[in-house]
A = this chain, B = another copy of it.
Amino acid sequence: MDQNTRGLDDNLLETIVRLEDQLRKSDRRVARVLLDNPADVLSMTLGQLAKTAGVSEPTVIRFCAAIGCDGFRDLRVKLARSMAFARTTSHTAITAEDDLGTVITKVFDYNLSNLNWAQSKLNETSVLEAVDVLSEARRIEFFGFGASGIVASDAQQKFPLFGVPCGAPADSHQMYMTAEMLGPGDVAVGISNTGHTREVVTSLAVARANGARTIGITGQSSPMLTHCDVHLIVETLENTDLYTPTVSRLSHLVVIDILSTAVSLRRDEDHHERINKMKSRLAHLRSNPFI
Contacts and interface: CB of A to CB of B under 8 A. Distances in A.
A146 B160 CA distance: 13
A196 B157 CA distance: 20
Contacts of A105: 119
Contact of A147 (B112, B157, B264): B157
Interface string A261-281: 110110000001001100000
Interface stretch (A54-62, A173-181, A242-250): A242-250
Nearest to A156: B150
Contact of A254 (B107, B197, B287): B107
Interface in A112-128: 112, 115-116, 119, 122, 124, 127-128
A105 B119 CA distance: 8
Nearest to A45: B73
A154 B196 contact: no
Interface in A210-239: none
Contact of A83 (B81, B101, B146, B150): B81
A88 interface: no
7 contacts: A43-B77, A80-B81, A81-B84, A111-B115, A150-B150, A196-B287, A245-B261
Given A100-B127, A197-B287, 8 more contacts: A94-B265, A104-B122, A107-B261, A108-B115, A111-B254, A150-B150, A150-B157, A243-B261
